[in-house]
Amino acid sequence: MTDAELLAGLPPFDQLSAEHLAAVASTAASVSFPAGKILFSEGEPAFGCWLIRSGQVALGSQMPGRGQVVVQTLGAGDMLGWSWLVPPHCWHFTAIAVTGVTAIEFDTTRLRALAETDPALGYPLALKLFEVVVARLQNTRSRLLDLYGNPRER
C-alpha cells in the first residue's frame, strides 16, 4: 500500500483528491519513538505533525501549583501537532510517548507551502485540522474542569 492509499481513508485526508493525497504523501515519512521520548515541549517552535498509527502520546501542560498535568492521551488514528499551522507556530503542550509509538510524520514546512500555493488543498486540510483543534480544546476544557472544579460539588 502506498502512503497516499494509506492516507486516503484517514481523517483529515479522506476528502482530498488523489492528486492532493499524493502531494501530502510526498511530505510523509514513517517514524517511531520509544516510551518516554519527548516529542515536543510547550513554548518551543512548532515543527512537525504526526498521525499516530500505534502507541500512546500524553499531552501535558504546566499548571500553577500542580506542575505538568496530562490533559489528553492520544492513540492510534489521532493527529498530533497542529501548532505549526497557526502563527506564532509554538507548541501549546508538551507531548511525551507513554508507550512505544509508530506514526506518520509530516514535513510541515513543505505541507504548509503546498497548502499556501494550492487553496484547493489548503482549505479542506485546514478545516479538518481545525476539527482536531476544536476536539482538543473541548477535551482540555473537560480535563481542567475535573482538575479545578469546586470540590464541594463532587
CA distance 20 to 101: 27
The average pLDDT across 141-149 equals 71
pLDDT at 2 over 80: no
46 within a domain of the structure (yes/no): yes
What is the torsion angle, in degrees rounded to the nearest 10, for the CA atoms of residue 95, residue 113, residue 51 and residue 34? -50
For residue 45, tell me if it sits in a domain. Answer: yes
Percent of the chain with pLDDT over 70: 92
* CATH number of the domain encompassing residue 36: 2.60.120.10
Euclidean distance between CA atoms 148 and 18, whole angstroms: 46
Omega within 30 of 0 (cis) for the link into 88:
yes
Domain count, the chain: 1
Name the CA radius of gyration of the chain, rounded.
16
CA–CA separation, 26 and 111 (whole Å): 9
Q: Which residue has the higher pLDDT, 66 or 154?
A: 66
* Single pTM value for the model: 0.83
Q: Which domain, by its residues, includes 142?
A: 29-147
- Tell me the pLDDT tens digit for each residue of 15-51: 788 899 899 999 999 999 999 999 999 999 999 999 9
User: What average pLDDT does the segment 106-126 reach?
Assistant: 91
